[in-house]
Amino acid sequence: MVGRLKKEFFQRDVLVVAPQLLGKKLVRMVSENEIIEDIITETEAYGGEEDLASHARFGKTKRNTLMYEGGGVVYVYLIYGMYCMLNIITSTKNKPQGVLIRSLKNTEGSGRVGRVLKLDKSFYGEDLCKSSRIWIEDSNYRNFKIEERTRVGVDYAGEWAKKKWRFVLVENK
């Protein structure tokens, strides 16, 4: 059966949720006549306040308050003044974790994903379980394996930059 992922799916540890999002179907209803559906092929996990690569590294701030509210919502933010990054908040209250959607089957690159999906700051806090414009469905896409790699663009995070918290979907042959 295929259906929308429930709150419980997201309210687990980010290192469990991030790899499990691979192969799931992201649905974005832009308008009544335009629906984008694509398979998630690359995710990246960001841990709690101790993860020096995460926005939560400064503690609770205006931008990342959402990360402390519990899993199942969308966390969008602007980077380099031009790209909206799509993140899914995971875990439970006061555990600031999130998953960056880095690539879809038809769109590689986190910045491009945000552009293709026409995301903007109005998606900040959008509930994946209730929204009528964006959600994630389970899928029957199973014929793949998962590769773990180091995260991208987080060299400033010292030892944390070496963690293999990026998960890539690789098709089986």
Contacting positions for DNA (CB under 7 A): 44, 46, 53-55, 58, 61-64, 75, 77-83, 85, 87, 98, 100, 109-112, 151-154, 156
- Which of 86, 91, 87, 97 has the alpha carbon at shortest distance from 50? 97
The string of DSSP codes covering 33-51 is TEEEEEEEEEEEEE-STT-
Q: For DNA, which is the closer residue by CB, 16 or 58?
A: 58
- Which of 23, 28, 53, 27 has the alpha carbon at shortest distance from 40? 23
Closest approach of DNA to the CB of residue 3, in Å: 26
How far is residue 69's CA from residue 125's CA, in Å, rounded to a whole number?
9
Closest approach of DNA to the CB of residue 22, in Å: 16
Closest approach of DNA to the CB of residue 33, in Å: 25
- Which of 142, 130, 140 has the alpha carbon at shortest distance from 2? 140
Q: For DNA, which is the closer residue by CB, 5 or 14?
A: 14
Closest approach of DNA to the CB of residue 27, in Å: 20
| In contact, 107 and 101? CB cutoff 8 Å | no
Q: For DNA, which is the closer residue by CB, 5 or 100?
A: 100
How far is residue 136's CA from residue 4's CA, in Å, rounded to a whole number?
6
Q: For DNA, which is the closer residue by CB, 26 or 140?
A: 26
